């Protein structure tokens, strides 16, 4: 039998050969950096999650807010100095037009021979879907609890307020007959306060019901025209101009609560321009049969830090005026249609509220 030469490969050589392959194939992002925070290597998953720069701290700064997360360089150097692992959850990272929610772990990279820390590892896991599900569940639970509370409070307050209003009206009539102007003025102020309370209670009840009224199919332009006519007195008083940028007839949709949504968005736009201005209402239909309805005003817009909270119940920037329920109700109604509503600042000033509404098949 001829001699056969066998090549023996050591375990160490196997590990060395396969290490780069393992790194490249991992489903989580891995970035290796040295003690000066310079990036040594990064796998494809990491490149898809963050904007890779020359150093790891600059990479993180490029897509995150330091106001929220602090000084990345300081955090990373502390990991290297102390040798302790650091993990951060729900880090919002923006790359181009995409925002991901990441779980980020910093780990020291230690030389196994002498125990000296040579640098570190940055591990990135995309938890965007998980975070969205958790947020939706938390929002649903919060809405359910708030809806029950709102309904109970509103019903408890309705009867006594109704009685107070009746007595105020009686007192105004009797005092007016006696020609006493000051008491009538005071009662007018009290009456205005109660009317505001009634408005809040009405919106609380509407929010607690959150019902979807599937009425007849109605052209979208008719629903918008009806909302504009309904809001016309407030629009004229505020010195606001309405510009319609949509054609008739538009596709039909279940009218339901869309009238209320359009009234709320128009009211919101008018109140954003106390000194007068212009509201432009436009509508287009995408190829996948989605109506895109925009309400654009020429007001001051809103603070970017409020962009996530603007649709939350009871959140308002109108001190002493708004209830903070109008936009929350709008979102609730539109989501029951299977659509969504967004808010953004216009580049030239003002804000744009956009409704994405699936149309009837």
Q: State the residue for tokens 């993990």.
A: 87
Inter-axis angle of helices 220-237 and 258-271, nearest 10:
30
**Full pLDDT tens readout for the chain, 361 residues:** 444 444 444 454 444 445 566 667 678 899 999 999 999 999 999 999 999 999 999 999 999 887 778 899 999 999 999 999 999 988 989 988 788 899 999 999 988 788 899 999 999 999 888 877 776 666 666 666 666 666 666 666 766 777 777 777 877 787 877 877 777 777 777 777 677 677 666 666 655 554 444 456 788 998 899 889 888 888 888 899 999 998 878 888 876 678 888 988 998 899 888 888 999 999 998 888 889 999 999 988 876 655 566 777 655 555 445 555 678 778 888 887 888 888 888 888 888 999 998 886 4
What span, in angstroms and rounded, lies between the C-alpha atoms of 253 and 250?
Answer: 9
Task: Please tell me the predicted confidence (pLDDT) of residue 29.
Answer: 92
pLDDT value for 59: 94
| CA–centroid distance for 106 within its chain | 29
Q: What is the 3-state composition of the chain as percent helix, strand, coil, each rounded to the nearest 5?
A: 45, 25, 30
pLDDT value of position 111: 83
Indicate the helix (H) or strand (E) that contains 166: helix 128-177
Helices 128-177 & 181-209 angle (0-180, nearest 10) = 150
| pLDDT for 52 | 94
Could you list the beta-strand ranges (E) of 9-72. 29-34, 39-42
8 Å CB contact between 332 and 340: no
pTM across the whole model: 0.45
The predicted pLDDT at position 4 comes to 42
Q: Which domains does the chain have, with CATH numbers?
A: 11-126 (3.30.450.20), 133-209 (1.10.287), 217-358 (3.30.565.10)
Q: How far apart are CA 59 and CA 42, in angstroms?
A: 12
Helix (H) or strand (E) holding 87: strand 86-95
């Amino acid at each position: 039998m001829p001699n056969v030469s066998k090549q023996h490969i050591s375990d160490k050589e196997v590990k060395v050969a396969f290490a780069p392959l393992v790194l490249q194939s991992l489903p989580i992002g891995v970035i290796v950096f040295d003690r000066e925070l310079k990036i040594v290597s990064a796998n494809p998953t990491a490149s898809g999650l963050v904007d890779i720069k020359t150093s790891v701290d600059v990479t993180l700064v490029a897509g995150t807010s330091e106001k929220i997360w602090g000084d990345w360089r300081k955090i990373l150097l502390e990991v290297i100095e102390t040798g302790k692992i650091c993990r951060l959850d729900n880090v919002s990272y923006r790359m181009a037009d995409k925002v991901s929610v990441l779980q980020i772990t910093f780990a020291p990279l230690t030389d196994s021979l002498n125990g000296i820390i040579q640098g570190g590892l940055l591990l990135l896991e995309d938890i965007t879907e998980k975070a969205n599900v958790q947020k939706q569940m938390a929002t649903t639970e919060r809405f359910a609890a708030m809806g029950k509370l709102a309904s109970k409070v509103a019903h408890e307050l309705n009867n006594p307020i109704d009685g107070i209003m009746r007595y105020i009206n009686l007192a105004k009539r009797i005092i007016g007959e006696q020609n006493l102007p000051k008491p009538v003025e005071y009662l007018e102020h009290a009456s205005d306060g109660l009317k505001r309370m009634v408005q809040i209670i009405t919106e609380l009840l509407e929010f607690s019901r959150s019902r979807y009224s599937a009425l007849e199919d109605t052209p979208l332009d008719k629903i918008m025209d009806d909302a504009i006519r309904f809001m016309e007195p407030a629009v004229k008083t505020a010195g606001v101009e309405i510009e319609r940028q949509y054609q008739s007839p538009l596709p039909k949709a279940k009218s339901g609560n869309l009238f209320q949504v359009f009234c709320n968005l128009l009211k919101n736009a008018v109140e954003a321009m106390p000194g007068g201005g212009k509201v432009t209402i436009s509508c287009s239909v995408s190829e996948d049969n989605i109506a895109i309805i925009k309400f654009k005003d020429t007001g001051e817009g809103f603070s970017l830090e409020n962009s996530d909270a603007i649709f939350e119940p009871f959140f308002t920037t109108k001190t002493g005026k708004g209830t903070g329920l109008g936009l929350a109700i709008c979102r609730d109604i539109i989501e029951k249609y299977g659509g969504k509503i967004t808010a953004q600042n216009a580049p030239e000033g003002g804000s744009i509220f956009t409704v994405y509404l699936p149309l009837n098949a």
